[in-house]
A = this chain, B = another copy of it.
Amino acid sequence: MPKQKVSEQFILIESMKLFRRKSYHNTSMADIAAACGLLKGSIYHYFPSKEALMKEVIEHMHDFFNKEVFCYAYDSKLNPQERMEAMFKASKKIYLSDEGGDVLGNIGVETAIVIPEFADQIQKFFLDWLKALENVYLQITQPYEAKLLAEQTVTEIEGAVMLTRIFKNPKYLIEANKRIKDRFASFMIAEAERLNR
């Protein structure tokens, strides 16, 4: 009986990399298999179809973000600023890893278009992201404002990911991060003043 050459996890990671770098369409099952040291047919022992594999990739990223990034938004041991910092730090290693490929931003859009069922998953990811940010902003401002700030933050990051990709230049992402932090700081100060009064 042949031994298992790879793990499901491994295939997930490798295919994620490929999807990010080359897009869903430009990545063939053979590419994925090759990246895993397998041959075409073998992927099907782990995932029933390319579509299913993609769905698990999305879910895997979603889980990862929930556990490694978004969680800090709810970490009562941290103050608001520390929560933001922690999220930034955790996500940065993802955004800037692997040739600047983003996570669910660009993949998301391409993918959401391709197969309707992907759209739901992608939306859920962004909803969790928005909710996490909103939760942090809620600590320093009013509910309506917090929601808008969360939306603005996601908007800027996703736009920056796109420009970073198009120009192959990370500065857009770096600038966006800076703006978000500065904005956060100014809200912190305003809130501090409000409380001081």
- Considering only residues 102-131 of chain A, those with a C-beta below 8 Å from chain B are 105-106, 108-110, 112-114, 119, 122-123, 126
Interface size for chain A: under 10, 10 to 19, 20 to 34, or 35 or more residues?
35 or more
Q: Taking the full assembly, how many copies of this chain does it contain?
A: 4
Contact for A165 among B112, B160, B175, B179, CB less than 8 A = B112
Set B108, B148, B160, B162: member contacting A175, Cβ < 8 A: B148
Interface of A is mostly: helix
**Quick check: A155 and B151 within 8 Å, CB to CB?**
no
- Residue A176 lies at the interface, judged by CB distance under 8 Å to chain B: yes
Which single member of B21, B25, B122 contacts A166 (CB below 8 Å)? B122
Residues in B neighbouring A157, C-beta threshold 8 A: 159
How close is A147's CB to chain B, nearest CB, in angstroms?
A: 10
**Closest beta carbon of chain B to A95's beta carbon, Å:** 13
- Does the CB pair A172–B155 fall under 8 Å? yes
Q: Is A22 an interface residue (CB 8 A)?
A: yes
